[in-house]
Amino acid sequence: MSMITGVTRGGEAYTPAFVMSIDQASCIGCGRCFKVCPRDVFDLVDRDDVEGLEAMDDYDDDDYGDDDDGFSDDTAMVMSLKDALDCIGCGSCARICPKKCFTHEAMPAQA
Given the rule CB under 6 A, which residues bind ligand SF4? 19, 22, 27-33, 36-39, 41, 79, 87-93, 96-99, 101
Query: Percent helix, strand, coil in the chain (nearest 5)?
Result: 25, 25, 55
Cβ 36 to ligand SF4, closest distance in Å? 6
Cα dist from 2 to 5, 13, 86, 109, whole Å: 8, 13, 20, 6
Cβ 111 to ligand SF4, closest distance in Å? 23
Cβ-based nearer residue to ligand SF4, 61 or 83: 83
Cβ 35 to ligand SF4, closest distance in Å? 9
